[in-house]
Amino acid sequence: GESVGLHLPTLSVQEGDNSIINCAYSNSASDYFIWYKQESGKGPQFIIDIRSNMDKRQGQRVTVLLNKTVKHLSLQIAATQPGDSAVYFCAERERGAQKLVFGQGTRLTINP
Amino acid sequence: NAGVMQNPRHLVRRRGQEARLRCSPMKGHSHVYWYRQLPEEGLKFMVYLQKENIIDESGMPKERFSAEFPKEGPSILRIQQVVRGDSAAYFCASSPRTQGRTYEQYFGPGTRLTVT
């Protein structure tokens, strides 16, 4: 069954604020985690990834944090823009495997 | 460099017909993955293929579903005798040869299958 889930199904933020999207996972054998953004009618778009030997990784306006002790993953988006409106999925991959296990997703909406 | 291509983008089939979904991976990618997504849900893994080989089909239903990735041409996901429950978005992803490293999977735009 699914081992990746999200704490909140929807998140609404003001434009310009920071967004934090959370994800819990239960498979301790997972060693690779990815955040995807999916806009309506489109396929998932890679945002950022992190391996289990890291706690934090930064990209352009995005940061992923990994807490292996509590099996928690988060995506932080700085200065949220209207174009960030989408559904965000976390996904994990078990060590030695190739398939991704996705969470249900969080819908991020931006208030002007 | 073109991304992952899928066709058709939308497919309507009557119950009992066959659905054939095509996926062309990114240039240079030799690994293909198929996922299914129901409305308001995350993607569910179906099958992982390399050229002429099925590597992992643990997410494929045992009956009516099959997948191939021939030496030449696109990967094909085939659903025989479709039922209404097969209605979903089907996404293909590709990645380069792993060579011991971890590579992200790049997704196509998906095929929306509707069974009437």
pLDDT score of A7: 47
Interface test with A, best of B7, B34, B45 (most A CBs within 10 A): B45
Alpha helices in chain A (DSSP H): none
pLDDT score of B78: 98
pLDDT tens, residue by residue, B18-60? 999 999 999 988 899 999 998 878 899 999 999 999 999 999 9
pLDDT tens, residue by residue, A68-107? 999 999 999 999 999 999 999 999 998 888 899 998 899 9
- Three-state DSSP at A17 gives coil
Q: Is the dihedral of CA B101, B105, B106, B111 positive or negative?
A: positive
Q: Tokens 């002429």 label which residue?
A: B52
d(CA B93, CA A99): 10
Task: Determine whether the interchain pair A89/B105 forms a contact, defined as Cβ–Cβ distance below 8 Å.
Answer: no
A48: nearest CA in chain B? B104
Task: Determine whether the interchain pair B56/A99 forms a contact, defined as Cβ–Cβ distance below 8 Å.
Answer: yes
Nearest to A43 among B40, B95, B109 (CB): B109
Nearest to B45 among A41, A89, A100 (CB): A100
Nearest residue to A47 (alpha-carbon basis) of A38, A56, A55: A38
d(CA A102, CA A95): 15
Task: Determine whether the interchain pair A93/B55 forms a contact, defined as Cβ–Cβ distance below 8 Å.
Answer: no
- Three-state DSSP at A48 gives strand
At A26, is the pLDDT very low, low, confident or very high (cuts 50, 70, 90)? confident
